[in-house]
């Protein structure tokens, strides 16, 4: 519909109306309004996410990579599912990248620690493009490395800070093909910030589309980034700060500030195709949550407190200063785009809740209509989705991390 025309569409009719190949989505209690503004679809959702049907995972994994068996994964980082069932898995502790078979058996080490071609010092992003071409970004080396489907090295492109200037950091990088790259840059500090310390170190997020040589194709997309807490002797994470969302997949980019439920779906050249909004996601920062997070952060400083009690006091006082705490929590924590273009969205959780993600995810169709919420087992983090398979990073009772792939079992007719 064009020229401001509006249509109210019940999401339960998704399959019939949009032919997107998905099972029926939300009940009539969750509704979607779609409008058009200058060629950009605006999708507005109302209702409770709890009314969405729940998609479960298979009772047992179809593939498991045992972290306690060779090659002995220390801490699982990035994971990608290839089209034939093979997996790329990063061990962020050893800075190594491995290729595993569809049965979970190790096939080869793709790259290890170092500064040479195909090596890493701080791999922070792994993405797949058409034909199972893989792209890995190293934050310390400022480079994007391309691997072929067998894990062979294809090319390396260095990306620098010159895109945004002094005081910036290239956080992540992705590849769509050998001539279309994307980087996420943390902008410089807010120059208007009050001189008094402690204070929020507020940053913008910037996305730059690059060509195959690492040169910017166009001006960046700029949106609200997160913040840390800056003191005289530290710049510390803020547990209740929003985290900017950048998700890449199916030749699309999904971005947002995380402050509110507002997601921009864009092409690889960052042309906006649709904007998805869902009201009612901002929750107040409760006293009980504040106490629980403060206790968790305080316990994490046990070793540092033994040698620097003064620094721990300064950190705790700054991070939980009433002047710096938000009144309401950010709405969203993360997003993931699978190979079908579905958007997986997580509710915001404080940075201390890395392993508490069960029941926090829901799924949108490529056109933005809500499909379902997804239940994950405890002590598990969502890593990748391909077709009807979900890869989780699971931590056992001995704190050993494993990669387990489950079949997705949507409910309903």
CATH number, position 97: 2.120.10.30
Confidence at residue 354, expressed as pLDDT on a 0 to 100 scale: 67
Confidence of residue 309 (pLDDT cuts 50, 70, 90): very high
Could you tell me if residue 151 is inside a domain? yes
What are the pLDDT digits (tens) for 210-248?
999 999 999 999 999 999 999 888 899 899 999 999 999
Could you tell me if residue 28 is inside a domain? no
Could you tell me if residue 77 is inside a domain? yes
Q: From start to end of 121-179, where are the E strands?
A: 123-128, 134-138, 143-147, 153-158, 169-177
Could you tell me if residue 31 is inside a domain? no
Could you tell me if residue 320 is inside a domain? no
Confidence of residue 18 (pLDDT cuts 50, 70, 90): very low
Could you tell me if residue 96 is inside a domain? yes
Sign of CA dihedral 47, 53, 58, 59: positive
For 52, the domain range is: 38-285+326-409
Confidence at residue 19, expressed as pLDDT on a 0 to 100 scale: 35
Could you tell me if residue 298 is inside a domain? no
The answer to whether residue 357 scores a pLDDT higher than 70 is no
Confidence of residue 373 (pLDDT cuts 50, 70, 90): very high
Confidence at residue 411, expressed as pLDDT on a 0 to 100 scale: 57
Could you tell me if residue 135 is inside a domain? yes
Confidence at residue 250, expressed as pLDDT on a 0 to 100 scale: 85
Cβ-based burial of 10 (10 A; exposed 0-12, middle 13-18, buried ≥19): middle
114's CB contacts (< 8 A; 6+ apart) are: 120, 121
Number of domains in the chain: 1
Rounded distance between C-alpha atoms, residue 408 and residue 56, angstroms? 6
């Amino acid at each position: 519909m064009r020229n401001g025309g509006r249509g109210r569409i019940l999401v339960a009719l998704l399959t019939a109306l949009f032919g997107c190949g998905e099972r029926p989505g939300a009940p009539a209690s969750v509704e979607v309004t779609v409008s058009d503004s200058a060629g950009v679809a605006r999708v507005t959702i109302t209702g409770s996410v709890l009314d969405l049907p729940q998609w479960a995972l298979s009772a047992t994994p179809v593939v498991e990579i045992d972290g306690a068996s060779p090659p002995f994964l220390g801490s699982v980082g990035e994971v990608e599912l290839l089209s034939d069932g093979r997996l790329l898995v990063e061990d962020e502790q050893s800075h190594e990248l491995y290729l595993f078979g569809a049965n979970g058996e190790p096939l080869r080490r793709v790259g290890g620690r170092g500064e040479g071609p195909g090596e890493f010092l701080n791999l922070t992003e792994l993405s797949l493009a058409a034909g199972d071409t893989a792209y890995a970004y190293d934050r310390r080396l400022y480079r994007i490395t391309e691997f072929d489907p067998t894990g062979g090295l294809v090319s390396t492109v260095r990306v620098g800070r010159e895109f945004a200037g002094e005081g910036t950091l290239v956080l992540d990088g992705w590849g769509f093909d050998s001539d279309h790259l994307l980087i996420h840059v943390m902008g410089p500090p807010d120059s208007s910030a009050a001189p008094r310390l402690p204070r929020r170190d507020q940053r913008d997020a910037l996305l730059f589309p690059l060509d195959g040589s690492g040169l910017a194709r166009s001006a960046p997309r700029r949106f609200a980034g997160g913040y840390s807490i800056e003191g005289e002797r530290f710049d510390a994470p803020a547990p209740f700060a929003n985290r900017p969302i950048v998700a890449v997949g199916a030749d699309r980019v999904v971005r947002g500030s995380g402050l509110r439920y507002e997601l921009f779906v864009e092409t690889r050249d960052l042309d906006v195709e649709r904007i998805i909004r869902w009201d009612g996601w901002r929750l107040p920062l409760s006293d009980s949550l504040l106490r629980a997070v403060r206790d968790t952060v305080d316990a994490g400083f046990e070793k540092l407190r033994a040698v620097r009690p003064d620094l721990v006091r300064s950190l705790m006082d700054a991070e939980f200063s009433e002047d710096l705490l938000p009144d309401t929590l950010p709405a969203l924590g993360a997003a993931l785009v699978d190979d079908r273009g579905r958007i997986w969205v997580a509710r915001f959780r404080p940075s201390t809740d890395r392993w508490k993600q069960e029941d926090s995810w829901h799924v949108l169709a490529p056109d933005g209509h809500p499909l379902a919420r997804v239940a994950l087992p405890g002590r598990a983090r969502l890593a990748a989705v391909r077709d009807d398979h979900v890869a989780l990073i699971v931590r056992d009772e001995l704190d050993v991390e494993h990669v387990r792939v489950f079949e997705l079992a949507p409910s309903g007719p």
